[in-house]
Chain A
Amino acid sequence: MYFDSFSDFIAMGGHGLYVWLAYGIALAVVSFNLISPILRKKQFMAEYQRRLKRERRLAERKSGEAGK
């Protein structure tokens, strides 16, 4: 380990703000890039399933009426 203690690690010899800000932004960018497509796929699946349910219900109603 390059640093002597954890507080030294956080302080980064006075440059702590810059280093952690940079790594923080990197984390945000990485997270955004991972979360955005995953969410998109989830939304797509949810919407598609809702549509399938609706179509199934419509089909049942139609076949029910036809049978009467």
Chain B
Amino acid sequence: MAKTWKMPTWFYRLGSPRWSFEIMGKLLPWFAAATALLMVTGVIWGLAFAPADYQQGNSFRIIYIHVPSALLAQSCYMLMAVAGAISLIWKMKVADMVAKSCAPIGATLALLALATGAIWGKPTWGTWWVWDARLTAMLILLFLYIGVYTLHSAIEDEVTAGKAGAVLSLVGIVNIPIIKYSVEWWNTLHQASTFTVTERPKMEPEMWMPLLVMVVGFYCFFTVVLILRTRAEILEREKRAGWVKELVEAR
């Protein structure tokens, strides 16, 4: 007997792949426009107009990529786990497809956060890599993503793969606070870095306003990419359905 709390109608509507496909298609142009606007504004503002940091100089501008991608990498994992839970509890196919689509996006964002973190570290602290708490935790998050993605691609049957991936990402979600705590404890134990590469410096509004724009822009970008991926996934999985045939014939 599946748990069924009373959910609003739109929640159950989302269970229909066709309805989800169409509603996502309608939302896509809005989010795409918002993404383009915010990211272009943010990048130009951050690169050309915001002031440089007093201590770090112009390499500080990397923050406008690093912080949003790190935030997104973490949010994406949460979404992946929640979508996985929904697909397990309510047996919703679309939730399963959303979860599957999250994995590669989150992995690339985690990679971006790591790469920009490392690049930022070089001019600031002299080395390409530092085993500090934040970067190490982000590296472990990348490992978690790779695990979910590999599990998905290793299992042939999509339904089973979805279930397995959901279980794994839920286990990961429980583990993330534990991992974070232990990595921070490990860090203080070894006194390896009396600094963190990604410590947020005191910022004036001229510095954090473009950052805010970039963060929102990245969230919109994530929504766009998630919609694109999920729609492609829906088409592939539902290819035997009549509405898909009509859609293709209409082209």
Identify the A interface with B (CB < 8 A).
1-3, 9, 12-16, 18-19, 21-23, 25-26, 29-30, 32-34, 36-38, 40-41, 44-45, 48-49, 52
Instruction: Name, among B39, B58, B239, B249, the residue most crowded by chain A CB atoms within 10 Å (CB to CB).
Output: B58
Q: Are A19 and B248 in contact (CB under 8 A)?
A: no
Q: Does B112 lie at the interface of the complex (its beta carbon under 8 Å from any beta carbon of A)?
A: yes
18 pairs of residues in contact across A and B, judged by CB atoms under 8 Å: A1-B49, A9-B47, A9-B48, A19-B59, A22-B65, A22-B66, A23-B65, A25-B119, A29-B69, A33-B108, A33-B225, A34-B224, A36-B229, A38-B228, A40-B236, A41-B232, A48-B244, A48-B245
Q: A1-B48, A2-B50, A52-B248 are in contact. Are A25 and B115 (CB under 8 A)?
A: yes
Q: Does B111 lie at the interface of the complex (its beta carbon under 8 Å from any beta carbon of A)?
A: yes
Q: Are A23 and B47 in contact (CB under 8 A)?
A: yes
Interface of B is mostly: helix
Q: A29-B108, A30-B221 are in contact. Are A2 and B239 (CB under 8 A)?
A: no
4 A-B pairs closest in CB distance: A12-B58, A37-B228, A15-B59, A37-B229
Q: Which residues of B contact A49 (CB under 8 A)?
A: 248, 251
Complex: how many Å from CA A19 to CA B60?
8
Q: Are A12 and B239 in contact (CB under 8 A)?
A: no
Output the least CB separation between B241 and chain A (Å). Answer: 12
Encoded as 1 (CB less than 8 Å from any A CB) or 0, chain B from 60 to 79 comes to 01100110010000000000
Pick the residue among A18, A25, A48 that contacts B59 (CB under 8 A).
A18
Q: Are A26 and B116 in contact (CB under 8 A)?
A: yes
